[in-house]
Amino acid sequence: MIEAPQPDEAPLELAARTLDGGVLLVAVRGELDSATAPRATAALQRATTPGVRTLALDLSAVTFLASSGIQMLVSALRGDGGVDGDLHLVAPSDAVLRILRLLGLDQVFTIHDTVDDLVSAGSAGTPAASSSRPRPSDERRTDHP
């Protein structure tokens, strides 16, 4: 485990493991918000070493994604703050996927349904749109001008 919550901190746990091909898989559990996003960024920076070609975030256990969590993901994608290499998202929860879709970020991030899909893709930058995971319906309102 690379990060666990302290008794007075918002719930966030990060656990990392290395996969073949220089892939660092970090399982994120809890909330990504203004209280936890800076901790998550710092932990990812510590965990990302020069040999890591791809950073993959398993978001299946993320229960809440606020704007600061989205900012953290976009910053990591751009390589800001020392997180180098490609960024892939794995198995985002339905709540997280809905937010990514509403913002159009499902077309920006490379998203894999499972860790096995990530490994099968060889982290070669499989486009996000190629994911076979059923997507929640787009709930943008169209009944207003």
Q: The domain that contains 27 carries what CATH number? A: 3.30.750.24
Residue 106, pLDDT score: 95
- In-domain check, residue 139: no
- In-domain check, residue 60: yes
Residue 13, pLDDT score: 94
92 in Cβ contact with 100 (< 8 Å): yes
Q: How many domains does the chain have?
A: 1
The mean per-residue pLDDT over the stretch 10-18 comes to 88
- In-domain check, residue 126: no
Residue 22, pLDDT score: 83
What's the domain range around 91? Answer: 12-121
Supply the mean pLDDT for the chain: 80
- Encode pLDDT of 3-13 as tens digits: 544 555 668 99
- Encode pLDDT of 35-91 as tens digits: 999 999 988 888 887 778 888 999 999 999 999 999 999 988 887 755 667 889 999
Asked if residue 27 has pLDDT above 80, the reply is: yes
pTM of the entire predicted model: 0.77
